[in-house]
Amino acid sequence: MPTKTRPVEKFARATAQCSVQAAAYGKCVVTDYNSVHKDMCAKEFMKLKDCVLAASKKG
């Protein structure tokens, strides 16, 4: 009987496939980390989110 994949494992695998987008988002946040505010890196976050969602649908 196949084992069921836990959601956190699926999320981790999907996120691992998006290292370029994650690095870009992290770089954006670190640029001015003393004054982080909402939507500061919205464009980078959306690219990361889209990548993770696409990767999670693949597998």
What pLDDT is attached to residue 52? 96
Domain map of the chain by residue range? 7-58
Kindly report the pTM of this predicted structure. 0.82
Separation of first and last alpha carbons in the chain? 19
Beta strand residue intervals within the chain, DSSP E:
none
Structure confidence by residue, pLDDT tens digits, 12-49: 999 999 999 999 999 999 999 899 899 999 999 999 99
Residue 1: pLDDT band (50, 70, 90) is low
DSSP string, 6-18: PHHHHHHHHHHTT
